[in-house]
């Protein structure tokens, strides 16, 4: 007979608790993948190494979300150059991009460290640093309004021009060279004796064609994909800087995503990394061979001459280190030396 009140009390507790259980269960339901369309803008053509990475990323996101999250690609600078894209990303009108981290120097100085001249000797060194503690620490310092997801590959930068082969340090003298809007690259090209001319990438072909500038500097695959060989006779494999790419999301767009959706995008960007790097470097090798066969004069400065260029830029490197932060540059340089010694 005394069991019934106990049963009633238990039922009452269950009924009272039910709304609370629903409240606690709600965040779990909220973590389901919802429908989103994300605009992914970049300045290179769809057929480029950027395009290959962005396409694979979009495919992974669609597959992992069972079609609920769609990444729409806007290649070729159709939504603006790199600086305009960064601004749109911070404003939330574009959700994603990929670009060299050095272009964010005006927003976050530490990212300039990747653009130090002649910092890396090989892709292996660059990959190990970027994927290790130093690179990941820098990732957390993305500027306000931007979220870093992964590092992809842009490549070693080489010089092209329409005037002469560049095989020695002295051959840079007097060349008017288009550069990206990165202070590090401006200082490097000026330090080598040329005249750096900052310009949005979307304007480069026209400037080369009209000879408003004599040349430009970019990875060879970029030179090839954008058909700069049509208006540039000479390509010199100077490898004066290495550029990674950083995959960025808009902070405003990120705030609208739940944890499951953020995890999906981060994992897809990271998983794309190995594929994109492989494609980028295969494109580089194929482009060099193809350009030679199509009449581009490809010059490879000797190892001794490259070392001479490196030494010549020592004062520039010291000045840049002060601008970036000498402690950070020392940390990165020490890690590169450690990686180099371990191989």
Distance CA 107, CA 34 (A): 32
Model confidence, pTM: 0.86
Residue-wise DSSP of 225-251: HTTGGGT--EEEEEEEEEEEEEEEEEH
| SS3 assignment for 155-217 | EEEEEEECCCCCCCHHHHCCCEEEECCCHHHHHHHHHCCCEEEECCHHHHHHHHHCCCCCEEE
Structural domains of the chain in order of their starting residue, each with its CATH number: 34-341 (3.40.190.170)
204 touches 216 (CB < 8 A):
yes
pLDDT tens-place string over residues 108-136: 889 889 889 999 999 999 999 999 999 99
Q: What share of the chain is helix, strand, coil (3-state, %, to 5)?
A: 55, 20, 25
pLDDT at residue number 14: 37
In the numeric block, which tokens belong to residue 9? 């009390």
Three-state DSSP class for 39? strand
What proportion of the chain, given as a percentage, has pLDDT over 90?
Answer: 82
Length of the chain equals 343
pLDDT band at 161 (very low <50, low <70, confident <90, very high): very high
Predicted confidence at residue 48, as pLDDT, reads 94
Residue 15 has pLDDT above 80, yes or no: no
- pLDDT at position 21 over 70: no
What pLDDT, in 10s, does the model give residues 302-314? 999 999 999 999 9
The pLDDT-based confidence of 5 (bands split at 50, 70, 90) is very low
Specify the pLDDT at position 342: 87
Give residue-wise pLDDT tens across range 251-288. Answer: 999 999 999 999 999 999 999 999 999 999 999 999 99
Position 27 scores a pLDDT of 40
Q: Model confidence over 171-210: pLDDT tens digits?
A: 999 999 999 888 889 999 999 999 999 999 999 999 999 9
Query: Alpha-carbon dihedral of residues 9, 12, 13, 18, nearest 10 degrees?
Result: 160
**HSE, side-chain direction, 13 A CA sphere, residue 269:** 24
Tell me the β-bridge partners of 298: 235
What is the per-residue pLDDT across 56-92, written as a single tens digit (0 to 9) for each? 999 999 999 999 999 999 999 999 999 899 999 999 9
Do the beta carbons of residue 211 and residue 162 sit within 8 Å? yes
Q: Give pLDDT, residue 250.
A: 98
- What pLDDT, on the 0 to 100 scale, is given for residue 184? 86
Q: Please tell me the distance from the alpha carbon of residue 253 to that of residue 112, in angstroms, as a whole number.
A: 25
């Amino acid at each position: 007979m005394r069991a019934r009140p106990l049963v009633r009390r238990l039922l009452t507790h269950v009924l009272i608790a039910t709304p609370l259980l629903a409240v606690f269960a709600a965040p779990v339901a909220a973590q389901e993948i919802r429908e989103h369309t994300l605009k992914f803008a970049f300045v290179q053509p769809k057929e480029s190494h950027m395009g290959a990475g962005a396409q694979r990323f979009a495919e992974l996101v669609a597959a992992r979300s069972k079609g609920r999250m769609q990444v729409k690609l806007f290649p070729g600078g159709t939504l603006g150059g790199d600086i305009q894209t960064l601004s749109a990303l911070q404003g939330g009108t574009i959700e994603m991009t990929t670009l060299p981290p050095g272009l964010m120097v005006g927003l976050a100085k530490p990212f300039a460290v990747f653009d130090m001249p002649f910092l890396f000797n090989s892709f292996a060194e660059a990959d190990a640093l970027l994927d290790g503690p130093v690179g990941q620490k820098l990732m957390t310092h993305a500027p306000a309004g931007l979220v870093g997801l992964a590092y992809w590959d842009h490549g070693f930068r080489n010089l092209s021009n329409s005037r002469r082969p560049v095989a020695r340090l002295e051959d840079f003298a007097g060349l008017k060279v288009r550069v990206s809007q990165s202070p590090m690259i401006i200082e490097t090209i000026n330090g080598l004796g040329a005249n750096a001319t900052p310009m949005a990438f979307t304007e480069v072909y026209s400037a080369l064609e009209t000879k408003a500038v004599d040349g430009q500097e970019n990875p060879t695959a970029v030179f090839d994909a954008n058909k700069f060989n049509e208006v540039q006779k000479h390509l010199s494999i100077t490898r004066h800087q290495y550029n990674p790419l950083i995959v960025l999301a808009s902070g405003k767009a990120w705030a609208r995503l739940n944890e499951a959706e953020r995890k999906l995008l981060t994992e897809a960007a990271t998983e794309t990394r190995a594929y994109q790097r492989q494609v980028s470097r295969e494109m580089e090798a194929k482009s060099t061979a193809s350009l030679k066969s199509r009449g581009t004069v490809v010059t490879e400065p000797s190892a001794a001459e490259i070392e001479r260029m490196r030494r010549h830029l020592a004062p520039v490197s010291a000045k840049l280190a002060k601008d970036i932060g000498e402690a950070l540059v020392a940390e990165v340089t020490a890690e590169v030396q450690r990686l180099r010694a371990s191989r």
